[in-house]
Amino acid sequence: MNLWYFMSGAEYGLILPTQNEYMLTLGAAPKVIGIAFTLFAFAGLVSSPFCGWVTDKLGAIKVPLLTMIMCSIVGSVIYTFTRSIPGIFLGRLVQGVGWGIDGAIIGRVALITEKSGNGSMMIGLCLLMRQAGIILGSLIGSTYVASWNFIFLGMFEIDKLNAPGLAVAFMWSFALAFSFIATVAEPQLESECDQVTSQESLNLTNGKLESEEQPLQERKHQNHSVEVNESVKYIQVKKLPLMTEQIAVCTTCSFSAYILQSTLESIVTLLTKTLFGWGNEQNLNLFTMIGITAVVGYIIVMLIGKFFTLRTTLLIGVSLEGCLLLAMGTLLPMAHFREQWIMYSFIVITGSFIILLPFVFVSSATLMSDFTDPSQKSTIQGLRVTAERLAQICGPMWGTGTFPNYALLFTYPAVFLFLSSFMIFFSWEWLDPSKIKNVPDKMLEEEK
């Protein structure tokens, strides 16, 4: 599973820095560039919930994973060999379908770590591997792949513009072979309630809990008991809807963070060219530094997990990002070409953005898993990824459409970030997994 995240990061690091120049060389108008980002995100939006649902139904990830990797290979081949604007659009669309497995993988990781309680660490590690892939992909792209210039299979011209697509196709082919071997004997994971098999282990003491709304709540389960500790304040007494308050808050936070990220991604090369006169080589180095900075962010998140709760980390991430966004929207209108102070400000603020994004991504994904029934973990994570892909559609459209009106450019993501902060504040008590005991749906269904 970590391999998929590493390869997806390498694809990002190879394709994204050169995609704009590839399209401009083929005659694309600047306003059309954002369509490629939009198609990629739209494909993931559609495929993510489907992949999550199939994974939960099968109880295994092998078939969805291998299918989505094949989509990534096909999309990379189309992107490389068609050398046309429609071909780039189609290639990115098919590649986006392949990225739909993201949520299903996180759901499986959450289920694997359900008993050990280190879900945040493992989810953070998966996302950290993506950043490592971005770093390696950017380095390979700028130092090796950019020098490719040959005829492939006697008929396809490969140069610095479409070479990243060919490199990505080779990498995903390796990932397909490795994943097939690794998942040959994949076990079907079971939730905690499924693992109880003997009548003796089922015949336990009925739980009693205190609640603000119900001073004394006694819950009897025919064949199961709910094991609780003293910190638990609320217990689930009926099957919950698919979209609970906690899921809504975490989904909004993920959406807001991806609105910010995708908006910046779509205009960063335009921004650096306008402010500093940077070209393709400098932007490749920039994306490498972004990857390194993001790695630092994920390491910080995993370290502070010992001192801060997930809800605290989530609030820190969205609130500080909103404040930094206002600062950037205020400073950029006053900037002149290649001024030293604006370069330093850009580096500091952008670096802070990158470090804070993992605070939101890891915390929201882990909290969603903590409040999700074991039989729906991949489905719910797929819905989270759907929200993120929707943000990746809206962000580039807004970014390229409002650039260089900086005040208007940053208003849209700032509104969602501050909305997320308010939602966390008003749902604070309900975002503490230690005070809420969720009962697996299977146990509730067996009571009826």
The terminus-to-terminus CA distance of the chain in angstroms comes to 38
Residue closest to 222 by CA, chosen among 443, 437, 442, 375: 443
Question: Residue 347 has what pLDDT?
Answer: 87
Region 419-441 average pLDDT: 82
pLDDT confidence of 219, banded at 50, 70, 90? very low
Range of the domain at 75: 2-188+241-437
Alpha helices in 113-208 (DSSP H): 119-143, 163-182, 199-202
Whether the Cβ atoms of residue 106 and residue 126 lie closer than 8 Å to each other:
yes
pLDDT tens for each residue of 350-385: 999 999 999 999 999 999 888 888 888 898 999 898
Q: State yes or no: pLDDT of 131 exceeds 60.
A: yes
Alpha helices in 237-339 (DSSP H): 245-276, 280-304, 310-331
Whether 193 maps to a domain, the answer reads no
pLDDT confidence of 216, banded at 50, 70, 90? very low
Q: Lowest mean pLDDT of 100-114, 173-187, 238-252, 406-420, name the range.
A: 238-252
**Residues in a beta bridge with 235:** 437
Residue with the larger pLDDT of the pair 197 and 119: 119
Whether 37 maps to a domain, the answer reads yes
- Output the average pLDDT for the chain: 81
Residue closest to 422 by CA, chosen among 332, 313, 318, 268: 318
pLDDT tens for each residue of 132-167: 888 888 888 878 888 888 888 777 888 888 899 999
User: How far is residue 34's CA from residue 88's CA, in Å, rounded to a whole number?
Assistant: 12
Question: Residue 217 has what pLDDT?
Answer: 42
Chain centre distance of CA 204 = 40
Transcribe 19-34 into DSSP letters. Answer: HHHHHHHTT--GGGHH
pLDDT tens for each residue of 297-335: 999 998 888 889 999 999 999 999 999 988 888 888 887
pLDDT confidence of 11, banded at 50, 70, 90? very high
Question: Residue 255 has what pLDDT?
Answer: 94
User: How far is residue 340's CA from residue 276's CA, in Å, rounded to a whole number?
Assistant: 10
Residue with the larger pLDDT of the pair 291 and 201: 291
The answer to pTM > 0.95 is: no
Question: Residue 446 has what pLDDT?
Answer: 53
Which CATH number belongs to the domain containing residue 8 in this structure?
Answer: 1.20.1250.20
Q: Lowest mean pLDDT of 156-165, 177-186, 205-214, name the range.
A: 205-214
Report the percent of the chain where pLDDT is more than 70: 83
- DSSP-derived secondary structure letter, 277: -
Q: Structurally, how many domains does the chain consist of?
A: 1
pLDDT tens for each residue of 182-196: 887 766 655 444 444
User: How far is residue 164's CA from residue 151's CA, in Å, rounded to a whole number?
Assistant: 15
Question: Residue 74 has what pLDDT?
Answer: 96
Q: State yes or no: pLDDT of 406 exceeds 90.
A: no
**Helix/strand number for the chain, H first, E second:** 16, 6
Residue closest to 218 by CA, chosen among 231, 199, 237: 237
Question: Residue 197 has what pLDDT?
Answer: 38
Residue closest to 419 by CA, chosen among 295, 294, 286, 257: 257
Phi and psi angles of residue 156, each rounded to the nearest 5 degrees, phi first: -110, 120
Q: How many CB atoms lie within 10 A of CB 140?
A: 17
164: its two tokens? 């990243």
Whether the Cβ atoms of residue 345 and residue 276 lie closer than 8 Å to each other:
no
289: buried, middle or exposed (CB in 10 Å: 19+, 13-18, 0-12)?
Answer: middle
Whether 215 maps to a domain, the answer reads no
Q: How many CB atoms lie within 10 A of CB 159?
A: 14
Q: State yes or no: pLDDT of 198 exceeds 60.
A: no
Please, which residues have CB within 8 angstroms of residue 241's CB and are 6 or more apart in sequence?
Answer: none
Q: Which amino acid, 382?
A: G
Residue closest to 244 by CA, chosen among 370, 372, 364, 429: 372
- DSSP-derived secondary structure letter, 355: H
Question: Residue 207 has what pLDDT?
Answer: 38
User: How far is residue 51's CA from residue 43's CA, in Å, rounded to a whole number?
Assistant: 12
Question: Residue 200 has what pLDDT?
Answer: 34
Q: State yes or no: pLDDT of 173 exceeds 90.
A: yes
User: How far is residue 111's CA from residue 41's CA, in Å, rounded to a whole number?
Assistant: 26
Whether 443 maps to a domain, the answer reads no
Whether the Cβ atoms of residue 303 and residue 380 lie closer than 8 Å to each other:
no
110: its two tokens? 């959450």
Q: How many CB atoms lie within 10 A of CB 50?
A: 16
Question: Residue 234 has what pLDDT?
Answer: 60
Q: Mapping DSSP to helix (H, G, I), strand (E, B) and coil, where does residue 405 land?
A: coil
Q: State yes or no: pLDDT of 215 exceeds 60.
A: no
Burial 206-233 (b: 16+ CB within 10 A, else e): ebebeeeeeeeeebebeebbbeeeeebb
Q: How many CB atoms lie within 10 A of CB 405?
A: 12
Phi and psi angles of residue 364, each rounded to the nearest 5 degrees, phi first: -65, -45
Whether 299 maps to a domain, the answer reads yes
